[in-house]
Amino acid sequence: MTVTGQDTDAVRILRGLEDGSSSARLRAALAAGTAPDPRFVAELIRRCAIEPEFFVRDMLTWALTRHPVSMTLPALLDEVRSERAQARSQALHTLSKIGDRRAWPAITSALLADADHEVARSAWRAAVVLVAPGEEGVLATELATQLGRGGRETRLSLSQALVALGDVIEPVLLAAAKSPDAHVRTHALATQRLLRDPDAGFESAIEEAKRVAVLDGPGQEGR
């Protein structure tokens, strides 16, 4: 069998994805996206699940977006059901970058409420990109169940996802602003402010929401 230069390049790239040096893995991922090859898809996806460096993971995702959706989509849909949290998170992130709405049914309630914050954040971002037309209200209701969750970064991600859905989120925010849970109320009020004023900083929105939540108490906001 004749070994071509293309075969040699493919072997070099595949080996590079396994290199102990993060810079070498980054170069290999760049090369895999620059010269897409069906032989790369499985290894790129496998590497996403275990790659420790953020910048390399981002390049792996970019490389996958350069390959045919017919090859990447089925494998990524399998990956969102992985037991490994990073595999689920990175697959969801990649699906959001590909933007093919055929992936929408894979964004389940379980993923939107995943116990791992990074997986949940990736699911929220993917959901607002992939949501089927007419399903925005259903998604808003699902996302609202996560209000008050986690720390600053998690709450900011959820607020951004909700705001990206537009005015359809108003009813669920009004309901959440009456929650007996102060964390939920504050988060809902801050998200309302961001919806009204997208240029408002999240920190200032949270501080204002805290003042309103304390002054009005549960059941008073949104009157």
How many separate domains does the chain show? 1
Q: Flag whether 124 is in a domain.
A: no
Q: Flag whether 144 is in a domain.
A: yes
Domain that holds residue 173: 135-223
- Per cent of the chain over pLDDT 90 is 83
Q: Flag whether 46 is in a domain.
A: no
Is 0.85 surpassed by the pTM of this model?
Answer: yes
**172 vs 144: CA distance, rounded Å:** 7
Average pLDDT, the chain: 91
Q: Flag whether 103 is in a domain.
A: no
Whether 220 has a pLDDT exceeding 50, the answer reads no
**127 vs 132: CA distance, rounded Å:** 9
Q: Flag whether 58 is in a domain.
A: no
| pLDDT band at residue 78 under the 50/70/90 scheme | very high
For residue 118, the model assigns a pLDDT of 97
- Which residue type is seen at 179? S
